[in-house]
Amino acid sequence: MFSREDLEEARRKVHAFFPGTPQYRWPLLARRAGTEVWVKHENHTPTGAFKVRGGLIHLERLAREGAAPHGIVSATRGNHGQSLAYAGARFGVPVTIVVPHGNSQEKNAAMKAFGARLIEHGADFDAARMEAMAIAERDGLCFAPSFHRDLVLGVATWALELFEAAPGLDVLYVPIGLGSGICGAILTRDLLGLSTEIVGVQSENASSYALSFKAGHVVQTNSADTRADGLATRMPDPTALSIIRKGAARIATVSDAEIAEAVRAYWTDTHNLAEGAAAAPLAALLKERAQMKGRTVGLPLNGGNIDLPLFRDWILDGAG
């Protein structure tokens, strides 16, 4: 999908807007997990999530090629839309974002603040995505998918930074929404010639990739009922699934209760706020604590954009 030179160039372009994010070994988290743990802090990007890396690469190319003269439209639950809005403002490309009804009001506000025009449509992400494609056709806009080579290349730069800082990782847990994060990690690992085992993580109630991984072909689900909105995908991307099936060891699933426990663990052990999808890798590690003993584990804390009501529920009410 891309070369080492492509990846290095993408990192240079991303770093023109913000420096690489840190990765730390937190002692309390290591004690809790029973093994050495490196946390990659993608919650420290300008949008609070890793997807901004992909948005910058995608919008830079569209602007350079003049491929979106009237702007772009996409669908999101939040972080993808924020990344496009942030990048669009920097490259002079108008951005329209479609979100499902009931979407995070705080993420909606953030997308508007970054300059996006926001439209609410449908009951879930996949319904919003179909509406965004219809708007693109009707209004002559460029449809920006949630999985695309540019996005994978851009977000792969977090994995490049982590692998260079912690080359001895035995296992890397990566959450799966539509797949750009884990695909970027797999392709980067392979380009670097590393042997790190990569494990995908999904919600038990939004397990389309886990089911597809096992079946060997795309399996759609009827619902994606999880409060970790970054994991709420019913329809896997075929290209992403192919990369994951070739490069991931397996896909672990976790419950919302286990994700909430991991959100609390990040807060108490590192004083960092993790959104549900970002806490899912830690939830999987804690669930598989016994089999990870003695191994060096990497976790992307890939976003910190959690609404206050959910924070109150998972951190404050759940702490007792």
At 319 the pLDDT is 57
Is pLDDT at 318 greater than 70 in this prediction?
no
Q: How far apart are the first and last CA of the chain?
A: 47
Sketch out the chain's domains with CATH numbers: 4-50+149-317 (3.40.50.1100), 52-143 (3.40.50.1100)
The pLDDT tens digits for 172-204 are 999 999 999 999 999 999 999 999 999 999 999
Task: Identify the CA nearest to 275 among candidates 301, 312, 313, 309.
Answer: 301
Give the pLDDT confidence score for residue 308 in this predicted structure.
86
Section 207-231 average pLDDT: 91
pLDDT tens digits, residue range 233-254? 888 999 999 999 999 999 999 9
What does each C-alpha distance from 209 to 10, 63, 104, 237 come to in angstroms? 27, 32, 24, 9
Q: What is the pTM of this model?
A: 0.95
| Sequence letter at residue 246 | K
d(CA 161, CA 227): 29
pLDDT at 6 over 90: yes
What is the band of 99 on the pLDDT scale with cuts at 50, 70, 90?
A: very high
Count of Cβ atoms closer than 10 Å to residue 230 Cβ:
29
Q: How many helices (H) and strands (E) does the chain have?
A: 14, 10
Is residue 261 within 8 Å of residue 289, measured between CB atoms?
no
Which amino acid type is present at position 195?
S
Q: Are 298 and 170 in contact (CB under 8 A)?
A: no
Residue 316 predicted with pLDDT over 80: no
Q: Yes or no: say if 307 and 294 are a contact pair by the CB < 8 Å rule.
A: no
Q: What is the amino acid identity at position 138? A: R
CA Rg value for the chain? 18
At 286-311, the pLDDT tens digits run: 999 999 999 999 999 999 998 888 88
- Residues 54-70: pLDDT tens digits? 999 999 999 999 999 99
Mean pLDDT on 148-167? 97
Query: Can you tell me which residue has the tokens 């093994």?
Result: 35
pLDDT exceeds cutoff 70 at 320: no
Comparing C-alpha atoms, which of 224, 252, 223, 220 is closest to residue 236? Answer: 220
What dihedral angle (degrees, nearest 10) is formed by the CA atoms of 210, 216, 220, 223?
-20
Q: Are 204 and 253 in contact (CB under 8 A)?
A: yes
Angle of helix 105-113 relative to helix 79-91, nearest 10 degrees, comes to 10
